[in-house]
Copies of this chain bind each other. A is one copy, B any other.
Amino acid sequence: MPHDTALAELASFLGDRLARSKPEREAHGRSETWFPETPPDAVAYPETSAEVSRIISTCARLGCPVTAWGTGTSLEGHALAVRGGVSLDMSRMNRVLAIRAEDMQAIVQPGLTREALNSDLRATGLMFSVDPGADASLGGMAATRASGTTSVRYGTMRDNVMGLEVVLADGRVIRTGSGARKSSAGYDLTGLFVGSEGTLGIITELTLKLHGQPEAISAAVCAFDDFEAAVRTVIATIQMGIPMARIEFVDETGATVFNAANGTDLPEKPHLMVEFHGSELSAAEDAKRFGEIVAEMGGAHFDWATTTEDRNRLWKMRHGAYPACLAFRPGSMGLVTDICVPISRLAEAVRETRADIAESGLTGPIIGHVGDGNFHSVLLIERDNAAELKAAKALAHRMAERALRLGGTITGEHGVGMGKKDLMEMEHGAAWEVMARIKRALDPDGILNPGKVVEVSQ
């Protein structure tokens, strides 16, 4: 078996926290989407940073790849150990280490999930804002630079990670950032590790920015006769400077999928789902001004979710979009792809993508965080249908090309993983080689999540 020496040495100090059974390996070889199963050679369950450091040192010395694993909810196969070696499952490092309410910060371990953190925060009046839908691990969210429904107001992981503890490829442990809200003290290493997908170091601790729980929340869902009116509403709202906490677009197919999964009766039309946070006065004012824009753009069926229960139902429906899509076509798997464009090109990007999906014959709702210019297609593929998979991949490729043509990016929030590495040179040109130089400088032996993000010859 490959890497036997390394695995034996790891077992010597991890004991039964180094799992080599088939079911464990298979569970860490699967992703949420279409990628083929690629089980690692073993799964390690560290409990401390020192243990992570020892694992990495051992693996570095013996040439065994290490790929970190959070909750496995990534959509681009980031956590799959495509070159074998060890899957580093961080789920036992899931503690809240400190909540510094006065500084609006939390210090957490990477295996903690965002919902668990928010549950701990409930009584403090604070919240952690980044919300990718899935109850992902915070380490994984940082590693993939996750964002989600509330990023239009509170930012992505780039904006909400203040500092990190990271184990480097040689086993050394460093700290980046500080408890201060800003710094000019040298290169932004925190920002470099956030979004590096476990290829430059393993995150073992995070200092996160918290926000006050809003005093008042108003949320609504409204329908439009055509998607362009919905997009124009978003642009006008941004330009009026109305601070949206969430603004989500759902197309006709999405509305149909939601009705099927939730027993709702949304009109089968494009929708916007919005939320405003503020004082009683300002949230009401924002909602009123937004309502005026919607009316002007011809929106209708405007339903305010006034109670907490109504609001929870609304966002639960939105967060359940992916399983709802899979259930809509039984026996399917998803190829979920996202792009992000400047807001002025959003209507064009959605229009062309809709036409492209229609022509492909695939079922694929468009759902997105349109306040950021970011949207997803959930392409539903029959399992083992090579022709459909091929068509979906081609469609995703065209979406990425479209994003670049319109001045955007091949992925707003899902990351590179296995799905988008082949598109990186198209987006970055010579800058992609600069990324590879950084990878070689920090991980010269290519131990950390090899085969992802950059191309290095080794």
Contacts and interface: CB of A to CB of B under 8 A. Distances in A.
Interface in A178-214: 178-189, 191-192, 194-196, 200, 212, 214
Contact of A412 (B144, B183, B188): B183
A129 to B, nearest CB: 13
B430 A172 contact: yes
Residue picked from A196, A410, A424, most chain B C-beta under 10 Å: A410
Residue picked from A181, A410, A411, A429, most chain B C-beta under 10 Å: A181
A282 interface: yes
A184 B215 contact: no
Give the bracket for the number of chain A residues in contact with chain B. Answer: 35 or more
Given A182-B156, A184-B413, A409-B180, A437 B442 contact: yes
Nearest to A406: B179
Interface string A142-174: 001111000100001011000000001000111
B442 A180 contact: no
Interface string A210-231: 0010110000000000000000
Contact of A344 (B100, B407, B431): B100
Interface in A329-379: 340-344, 372-374
A246 interface: no
A278 B243 CA distance: 10
B103 A181 contact: no
Given A285-B282, A412-B180, A174 B430 contact: yes
Residue picked from A156, A404, A429, A434, most chain B C-beta under 10 Å: A434
Given A102-B235, A176-B431, A434-B442, A192 B187 contact: yes
State the number of copies, please: 2
Residue picked from A158, A278, A431, most chain B C-beta under 10 Å: A431
A421 to B, nearest CB: 9
A418 interface: no
A454 interface: yes
Nearest to A196: B187
Contacts of A411: 183-185
A412 B212 contact: no
B151 A427 contact: no
Interface of A: 100, 102-105, 144-147, 151, 156, 158-159, 168, 172-176, 178-189, 191-192, 194-196, 200, 212, 214-215, 235, 238-241, 278-279, 281-282, 285, 340-344, 372-374, 403-404, 407-416, 420, 424, 427-432, 434-435, 437-438, 440-442, 453-454
Given A179-B408, A184-B414, A281-B285, 17 more contacts: A102-B342, A103-B342, A103-B344, A145-B188, A147-B184, A158-B182, A173-B430, A174-B430, A175-B431, A179-B407, A181-B342, A184-B415, A188-B195, A189-B431, A212-B239, A278-B282, A281-B282
28 contacts: A100-B342, A102-B235, A102-B239, A102-B343, A103-B342, A104-B238, A147-B184, A151-B182, A173-B430, A174-B434, A176-B431, A180-B342, A180-B374, A181-B343, A182-B372, A183-B412, A185-B416, A186-B195, A186-B416, A186-B435, A187-B196, A187-B200, A187-B438, A212-B240, A214-B241, A278-B282, A434-B442, A441-B441
